[in-house]
Amino acid sequence: MKIHFITGNENKVEEAKKKIGPLGFEVIQKNLNPPEIQSDNLEDVALFSAKWVSERFSEPFFLEDAGFFVDSLNGFPGVYSAYVFETLGYMGILRLMDGIEERSARFAAVIAYHDGKQIKSFGGEVSGHITQEPRGSNGFGYDPIFIPEGESRTFAEMSAEEKGRVSHRGRALEKMQEWLKEKDTTDR
């Protein structure tokens, strides 16, 4: 099944291809740059963008909105993750965390999928902690400073495939894929 991923982020596309490609989904990147509303709820952001795209594009697609939440910073940068990354980068987060021992953080992602008629959303999360220094050169965004629970490597030290097994995006993709498979069986 062909499915478009509306995003300008090639790393996200690579991760999605590695995750659901082997399960029979051909992921095609489409960069439509939908508007994003300012909200403290990732699902609201994803659903709004998906509705905007659905009014302009009639083939099955999904898009995704993600955020990085640091516990000792009361969830910051959260829904401002993209802006904070552009302005301060991950080094800015490390500086804010300087001297702070409690380093737990999580990534969350919400996928909004549109099949031509309805929009359905799927969430995924991964908990972990923030390193003292950046490590690794794979991936994107905050990957070099985040170690998922049960691992010793940062996301940036993992391959896209390894990251996708435990990541927020991987988990949301898994849920979407399971739902699509089930829907396919009941539609037949």
Residues annotated catalytic, as ranges: 65
Whole-number Å distance between alpha carbons of 147 and 105: 9
Interface mask (CB under 6 A) for ligand IMP, residues 103-142, using x and -? ----x-------------------------------xxxx
Site for ligand IMP, residues 10 to 49, rule: CB under 6 A: none
Q: Is the Cβ of residue 83 or residue 179 nearer to ligand IMP in the bound state?
A: 83
Quick one: which segment of 17-25, 66-74, 97-105, 170-178 binds ligand IMP (CB under 6 A)? 66-74
Total interface residues for ligand IMP by CB under 6 A: 17
For 126-145, the DSSP string reads EEEEE-SS---SSSSTTGGG
Whole-number Å distance between alpha carbons of 115 and 74: 36
DSSP annotation of 40 reads S
Cβ at position 34, least distance to ligand IMP in Å: 11
Q: Are the C-beta atoms of residues 126 and 147 closer than 8 Å to each other?
A: no
Name which position in 113, 143, 147, 171 contacts ligand IMP (CB under 6 A): 143
Q: Is the Cβ of residue 9 or residue 39 nearer to ligand IMP in the bound state?
A: 9
DSSP annotation of 167 reads S
Site for ligand IMP, residues 42 to 61, rule: CB under 6 A: none
Which residue's CB comes closest to ligand IMP? Answer: 141
Whole-number Å distance between alpha carbons of 57 and 64: 16
Region for residue 58 given its phi and psi (left: phi exceeds 0; alpha: psi -120 to 50; beta: otherwise): alpha
- The three-state secondary structure class of 68 is strand
Q: Is the Cβ of residue 25 or residue 142 nearer to ligand IMP in the bound state?
A: 142
Site for ligand IMP, residues 79 to 108, rule: CB under 6 A: 81-82, 85, 107
Cβ at position 64, least distance to ligand IMP in Å: 6
Q: Are the C-beta atoms of residues 31 and 9 closer than 8 Å to each other?
A: no
